[in-house]
Homo-oligomer: A and B are copies of this chain.
Amino acid sequence: MDADKLFDQIIKKKSFLCIGLDPDEDKIPSHLFKHEDPIFEFNKAIIDATHDLVVACKPNLAFYEALGTRGLVSLEKTTNYIKENYPEILQIADAKRGDIGNTAKMYAKSIFEHFQFDAVTLAPYMGKDSITPFLEYEDKWVVILGATSNPGAEDFQLVKTEHGKPFFMEVIEKSSKWADENSLMFVAGATRPQILKEIRQIIPDHFLLVPGVGAQGGNLQDVAENGINSKCGLLINSSRGIIYAGNDEHFAQDARIAAHDLQDQMKEILVNHNLTNA
């Protein structure tokens, strides 16, 4: 799926919502534990209830790895289920990997071949040779961490370089030359929306994956105001705000209501920016 096809989906679904599939056994509804694989049942119910409202989903691998090998089995079942039933949904592995060349190849094999993800988030610290093995796959996306949404983003990402700009801008400027907007996106957190405007000045065309709306305090209108472009160019992620909207037998309907609320706002934003046909 290239950028144009992703934009097609956004127009069709009137949504640029990405749902974060981050299941935690301490938080999912108790009735699911009658099933053999409660994590898969949880994900399946959430995606069945929201698939028409979202263009992407983003399982964070930490939540599966925390359960050991059985968590990885739940993840395999989840990505397979979504690929079979909702092939139009872009599946992003939130992995934040980053390692030397021959090791990066192994991570790419795991994420793109074994788990069949369409995209992966990567940390930039180790530089180009930690990224390029992922870019060698056709029809797959790399999403590089630019400015993240957490408080710790200030520790290093906002440190000024000798040219007076924050370090994350150096990361985006340099790495945006490694691939075009059909295979490269950047993470840009919703919690510092003014930064989105600065990022748009260097990369007008690349998609931005924006976490931090909802539980982390980011605001959808502010993000859109500062980050939208002529092909939308935004994927807004929400995890906890949707998947834990309810925690009883109606959790999937509650998740749909929460997702629908965001999608309604997105629809309005798309209309206001004349983004109604691709």
A interface with B by C-beta (< 8 Å): 22, 24, 60, 62-63, 65-69, 71-73, 76, 94, 96-101, 103-104, 106-107, 109-110, 114-115, 123-131, 145, 148-157, 159-162, 164, 167, 170-171, 174-175, 216
Contact = CB atoms under 8 A, between A and B. Distances in A.
**Residue in A22, A73, A103 with the greatest tally of chain B CB atoms within 10 Å:** A103
A155 B161 CA distance: 13
A56 to B, nearest CB: 18
A151 B129 contact: yes
Nearest to A114: B68
Contacts of A130: 150, 152
Contacts of A174: 155-156
Given A72-B72, A97-B96, A127 B109 contact: no
B156 A114 contact: no
A24 B110 CA distance: 13
Contacts of A150: 100-101, 126-127, 129-130
Contacts of A106: 24, 60, 62-63, 65-66
Nearest to A22: B103
A127 B154 contact: yes
26 contacts: A63-B103, A63-B106, A66-B109, A71-B110, A96-B98, A98-B98, A100-B149, A100-B150, A123-B125, A124-B156, A125-B125, A125-B156, A126-B145, A126-B148, A126-B153, A127-B150, A127-B155, A128-B152, A130-B150, A155-B175, A156-B167, A156-B171, A161-B161, A161-B162, A161-B167, A162-B162
Nearest to A189: B100
A164 B162 contact: yes
B125 A62 contact: no
B157 A167 contact: no
Contact of A153 (B127, B152, B157): B127
Contacts of A153: 126-127
User: Which 9 A/B pairs are nearest by Cβ-Cβ distance?
Assistant: A127-B152, A127-B155, A62-B106, A65-B110, A129-B152, A66-B106, A100-B150, A160-B162, A68-B114
**Residue in A63, A150, A154 with the greatest tally of chain B CB atoms within 10 Å:** A150
